Amino acid sequence: MDSVEAGRIPVSIAVLISSSDDPGVQNALSEAYESGALRGARFKEAKRIIARFSARRIESGKPILRHKLTGEALVREYQQRTREQQALVKRAALTRERLLLLKSAMRTLLKDEHFVTLLRAEQLNDLPEPLISEKG
């Protein structure tokens, strides 16, 4: 409340912070916001990360926090999750590129009559539609 009155935290952010049941989480969120490390969308994403983490810990019957959560720890966790998401996006893009290459290679091979004859001889008549279609 002091931070709101002092103008360091907007009321809307204070409402988001106060929606957490855990005072430790509230303090960490306040600290991270006031330090400038988590603002705007980054702040909201960090809050979602904590909520998901807390829900998983409650479901598993484990204590929510083993150590005192600080603003710095929250920022580190946010950065780690961001790195994981970026790595996931890169892997997805690489997989998509490989699938497009495979699809292009299959189209080229299916234009070769000798290859098509070999497929028939090996009784490989059924190929996945997405692999051979011209769409996508």
Contact 79, 68 (CB under 8 A): no
The string of pLDDT tens digits covering residues 111-131 is 999 999 999 899 887 878 877
- Across the chain, what does the average pLDDT equal? 82
**CA 102: distance to chain centroid?**
27
> pLDDT class for 35, splitting at 50, 70, 90?
confident
The string of pLDDT tens digits covering residues 4-31 is 778 788 888 888 888 877 777 788 888 8
**Residue 2 DSSP SS3:** helix
Using alpha carbons only, how large is the chain's radius of gyration in Å? Answer: 26
Confidence at residue 114, expressed as pLDDT on a 0 to 100 scale: 95
Sign of CA dihedral 52, 55, 59, 61: positive
- Say which residue the tokens 């909201």 belong to: 44
What pTM value is reported for the model? 0.57
Domain ranges, ordered by start, for the chain: 2-132
